[in-house]
């Protein structure tokens, strides 16, 4: 387990500095640095902060309490790969991510619960305003090398687990509307966004069958037929997966039509469809939504009831 002395030595060596050079940079005596690294002296509060600022690490990291070098401030104002300067997360999203990047999963979950209980946030707002922005920040921080790939995996798994716990507060009562099958296009591992869509749509009274990543196209088609679903929600995140969606939709439509499910309506979504807002039509979908709230509206408009109403001229 690292402690202050070992962290001091590691950070100094990582910067390629001699003790004398670090002492000069910090305005301290070389013997003081030597004593810190020997664990025979410990800095006062002012010098501790000075050292953390100089190496741009958190106090927790400096003291060996965390393995993340990132300070809360650097997480709150992360460096986005697609925007100049630093982008600011909301306080609640920043706190959630800060806790997770410091390996404090339980405290991260508690911070979300306190946003609900004390901050008056709804579970939907938690998804939209805490979990989604925190995940997107993680993607940027990974791309700009501020965090490691294992941080990204950890945060996404922890978030999925939290969503599993929050879902029961979002969805209540048995489904009263149609059945929706939800699946990412085969080959695509990103499925958290689609799971959010599933939870929101389920909360509106639909029966959602969320298939998760890497379900083969044949399995998606079979689920549509056996579950008697009239709506498919398919997602793609990686730009190069758009062609795979077109291929999957051709095959699914043909299989569904052979088995008498001719009224199948398909909504496409996910980040791959957000760069060019005409892509969903080109892959053969019937609709698109940019986020989980909009997805609910599009799916509701596809529901058999809504279609009946339209035919009767009773609703738009």
Write out the residues near ligand B12 by the rule CB under 6 A.
81, 132, 135-136, 138-140, 143, 152-153, 156, 187-194, 196-197, 233-235, 237-239, 267-271, 289, 291-292, 295
The residue (of 32 and 271) whose beta carbon lies closer to ligand B12 is 271
Alpha carbons 289 and 304: distance in angstroms, whole number: 19
Q: Phi, psi at residue 50, to the nearest 5°?
A: -60, -45
3-state helix, strand, coil in the chain (%, to 5): 60, 10, 35
**In angstroms, what is the minimal distance from the CB of 193 to ligand B12?**
2
The residue (of 63 and 300) whose beta carbon lies closer to ligand B12 is 300
- The bridge status of strand 207-210 relative to strand 265-269 is unpaired
CA distances from 194 to 5, 154, 157, 306 (A): 46, 19, 15, 23
The residue (of 33 and 180) whose beta carbon lies closer to ligand B12 is 180
**In angstroms, what is the minimal distance from the CB of 288 to ligand B12?**
6
**In angstroms, what is the minimal distance from the CB of 185 to ligand B12?**
9
CA 171 to chain centre: 20
Q: Please tell me the total number of residues recorded for the chain in this structure.
A: 316
**In angstroms, what is the minimal distance from the CB of 13 to ligand B12?**
30
The residue (of 153 and 227) whose beta carbon lies closer to ligand B12 is 153
**In angstroms, what is the minimal distance from the CB of 145 to ligand B12?**
12
The residue (of 122 and 239) whose beta carbon lies closer to ligand B12 is 239
**In angstroms, what is the minimal distance from the CB of 18 to ligand B12?**
38
Do residues 110 and 130 make contact, with C-beta atoms less than 8 angstroms apart? no
CA distances from 8 to 34, 103, 221 (A): 10, 21, 58
The residue (of 62 and 295) whose beta carbon lies closer to ligand B12 is 295
Q: Which long-range contacts (CB under 8 A, 24 or more apart) does 145-150 make?
A: 146/70, 146/74, 146/78, 146/79, 147/68, 147/70, 147/101
Alpha carbons 241 and 184: distance in angstroms, whole number: 10
**In angstroms, what is the minimal distance from the CB of 163 to ligand B12?**
10
Q: Phi, psi at residue 55, to the nearest 5°?
A: -90, 0
CA distances from 111 to 1, 92, 98, 149 (A): 27, 8, 10, 24
The residue (of 187 and 219) whose beta carbon lies closer to ligand B12 is 187
């Amino acid at each position: 387990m690292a402690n202050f002395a070992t962290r001091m030595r590691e950070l100094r060596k990582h910067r390629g500095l001699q003790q004398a050079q670090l002492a000069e940079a910090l305005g301290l005596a070389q013997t003081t640095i030597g004593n810190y690294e020997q664990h025979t002296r410990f800095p006062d509060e002012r010098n501790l902060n000075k050292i953390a600022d100089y190496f741009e690490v958190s106090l927790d990291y400096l003291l060996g309490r965390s393995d993340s070098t990132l300070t809360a401030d650097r997480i709150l104002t992360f460096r986005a790969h697609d925007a100049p300067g630093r982008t600011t997360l909301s306080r609640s999203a920043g706190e959630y991510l800060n806790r997770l990047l410091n390996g404090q999963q339980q405290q991260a979950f508690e911070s979300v619960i306190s946003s609900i209980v004390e901050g008056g946030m709804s579970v939907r707002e938690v998804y939209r305003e805490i979990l989604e922005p925190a995940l997107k920040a993680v993607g940027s921080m990974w791309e700009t090398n501020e965090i490691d790939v294992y941080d990204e995996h950890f945060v996404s798994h922890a978030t999925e687990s939290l969503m599993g716990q929050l879902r029961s507060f979002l969805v209540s009562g048995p489904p009263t509307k149609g059945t929706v099958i939800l699946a990412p296009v085969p080959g695509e591992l990103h499925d958290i966004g689609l799971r959010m869509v599933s939870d929101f749509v389920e909360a509106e009274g639909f029966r959602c069958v969320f298939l998760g990543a890497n379900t083969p196209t044949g399995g998606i088609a079979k689920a549509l037929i056996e579950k008697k679903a009239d709506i498919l929600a398919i997602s793609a995140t990686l730009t190069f997966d758009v062609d795979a969606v077109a291929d999957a939709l051709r095959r699914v439509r043909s299989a569904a039509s052979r088995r008498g499910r001719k009224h199948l309506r398909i909504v496409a979504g996910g980040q791959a469809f957000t760069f060019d807002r005409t892509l969903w039509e080109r892959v053969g979908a019937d609709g698109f939504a940019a986020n989980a709230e909009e997805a609910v509206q599009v799916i509701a408009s596809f529901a058999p009831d809504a279609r009946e109403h339209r035919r009767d001229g009773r609703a738009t």
